[in-house]
Amino acid sequence: MTDLKSMTPEELTAWCREQGQPAFRGRQLFQWLSRGVVSTQEMTDLPKALRAKIDQEGGISPPSVERKQVSKLDGTIKYLWRLSDGNCIETVLMRYRHGNSVCISSQVGCAMGCAFCASTVGGRVRNLTAGELLDQVIFTQKDSGVPISNIVLMGIGEPLDNYDNVRRFLTLVNHPDGVNIGMRHISLSTCGLIRGIDRLAEEGLQLTLSVSLHAPDDETRSALMPINRGTGVEALLAACRRYFAKTGRRISYEYAMIDGVNDTPRHAALLGDRLEGTVAHVNLIPLNYVEESSLKPSHHVAAFQRQLEKRGIPATVRRRLGSDIDASCGQLRRKALQNRAE
């Protein structure tokens, strides 16, 4: 089976030549795949022999909508996509005044084990291919009829744990003959894989790096995020400083506000100490409720924000979207897995 959807136009051109086709067929094929066709029969300007070869190689296998929820409050759309192997992933379309964003998954499940996240329930099953990452953007736009201008890699999975496929996806989605979404309109979120951050810094991409920090000290962060036990907060922030020095791109620190765990004045003061003098932005996130977790949303978000801003650290509170649907990451997939088990 040949994964055509994960190929660049140049690779598709080489593949078409191997099939005895002229070079320009590669560009045509890439454009068709970027439009979200569901069958080779839609590729009307490709010869029948080439379409037959594509079907022979495994076809184009579009994802199917397993479940779809639409918020009556703000129009947020949550998709549970079923992939060709039967696994399911989530994608969320969010509407903002500055444009529409799609939050996509990078893995089926997640191995990071963060205590506040439903995505990690059941662990990681497999990485998504570059084509499966791209399909989330293409088919969300196609099904919703809503033009997408921004991409957030913050769904199920850890993007830097699937580095090569994510990097290839970025090339595909940025290509002018395809979806053509610029790097400055893409945000990649990581729980803090230091080698991945250093590797990404060397790429020189103009995307926004978001680091899920969630605590300024090792004791609290290690309890919330097992990944911290092998590195520590200081080593992570050192990697972030190297990233900024290399790219000049401001880092956004994600901080889920959890009642009595990481939301005290002491935590705010320590976070201020850690970030003072750096070019950073803190995104305070009201915690989403997860059935399997005992963690509760904080009531001190505003006070925490004020304390950071007094230290000269920009801090905003993430707008809650889709509160009347299962918009937070991993919940829809978790319910689907539970239904299967029953």
Tokens of 235: 């080593």
Give the integer Cα–Cα distance in Å for 106 and 160.
9
Is 110 tagged catalytic? Answer: no
Residue with tokens 């076809």: 59
Tokens of 129: 């291919």
Q: Decide: helix, strand or coil at residue 186.
A: strand
Is 90 tagged catalytic? Answer: yes
Residues 6+ apart with CB under 8 A from 227: 112, 113, 191, 192, 193
Give the integer Cα–Cα distance in Å for 209 and 153.
10
Q: Are 192 and 170 in contact (CB under 8 A)?
A: no
Question: What sign does the dihedral 302-226-150-208 (CA atoms) show?
Answer: positive
Cα-trace Rg, the chain = 21
Q: Are 213 and 255 in contact (CB under 8 A)?
A: yes
Q: Are 142 and 92 in contact (CB under 8 A)?
A: no
Please identify which of the residues 16, 88, 90, 114 carries the catalytic annotation.
Answer: 90
Sequence-ordered alpha helix ranges (H) in 4-105: 9-18, 24-34, 48-56
- Return the amino acid letter for 79: Y
Please identify which of the residues 103, 114, 191, 329 carries the catalytic annotation.
Answer: 329
Burial class (CB in 10 A: 0-12, 13-18, 19+), 329: buried
Tokens of 204: 């020189």
- Please identify every residue annotated as catalytic: 90, 329
